[in-house]
Amino acid sequence: MQTLFEKIAAREIPAAIVYEDDLVLAIRDINPQAPVHVLIFPKTALPRIAEAKTEDTYLLGHLLMKASEVAATLGLTTGGYRLVINNGANGGETVPHLHVHILGGRQMAWPPG
Ligand code: 5GP
C-alpha cells in the first residue's frame, strides 16, 4: 500500500509543492506549527530513519542538502530555522514515510516539548 506521501508525490492527493526533483518532494505542512512549515521527503518510501540502510546514504545526504536549499529559498537562512525528524512512537512520528520538517519564521524553544 502506498504511503500518504507517495500518494502526494503521485499527485493522487493534492499538496502545496515548494520543491521537487527526481528524488525528493517538499510540500507545505497541512497543519503548520510555525509561520513556515515545510515537509521534505524522499519520493520512495523509507518508513523512518531507523530503517535506513547503507544504500540510502546518498538519498539521505541529498535530502538534507535540499532541506537547506529549500529553507534558503523560503528566506529562512538569516533568521535561522529548525530541521526535525520524528522517529517512531516516542519521537512523535505520525506518517510512516521518512520526512524532515523545516520550521521557521519564529523563535524555537529548547528543549522541545
Ligand atoms: P510526523 O508527525 O510524522 O513527524 O509529521 C507528519 C506531518 O504530516 C504532520 O506535521 C502533519 O501535519 C502532516 N500531514 C499529515 N497529513 C497531511 C496531508 O495530507 N498533507 C500535508 N501537506 N501534510 C500532512
- Mean local confidence (pLDDT), 6-28: 98
Q: Which domains does the chain have, with CATH numbers?
A: 4-104 (3.30.428.10)
Give the distance (Å) from ligand 1 centre to CA of residue 101: 9
Dihedral, CA of residue 7, residue 11, residue 14 and residue 20, to nearest 10: 100
Q: Is 84 in the pocket of ligand 1 (CB under 6 A)?
A: no
The residue whose CB lies within 8 Å of the most ligand 1 atoms, and thus the one to mutate among 6, 20, 31, is 31
Q: Is 88 in the pocket of ligand 1 (CB under 6 A)?
A: no
pTM of whole model > 0.85?
Answer: yes
73 in helix, strand or coil? helix
Q: How do residues 42-100 score in pLDDT, each as one tens digit?
A: 999 899 999 999 999 999 999 999 999 999 999 999 999 999 999 999 999 999 999 99
Give the distance (Å) from ligand 1 centre to CA of residue 38: 9
* pLDDT over 90 (residue 113): no
The catalytic residues are 99
Question: Phi first, then psi: what are they for 27, rounded to 5°?
Answer: -135, 160
Q: What are the grid coordinates assigned to 13, written together?
A: 492527493
- The CA distance from 104 to 38, in Å, is 9
Q: Please, are residues 99 and 40 in contact by the beta-carbon 8 Å criterion?
A: yes
Give the distance (Å) from ligand 1 centre to CA of residue 78: 26
For residue 31, the one-letter residue type is N
Q: What is the DSSP letter of 49?
A: G
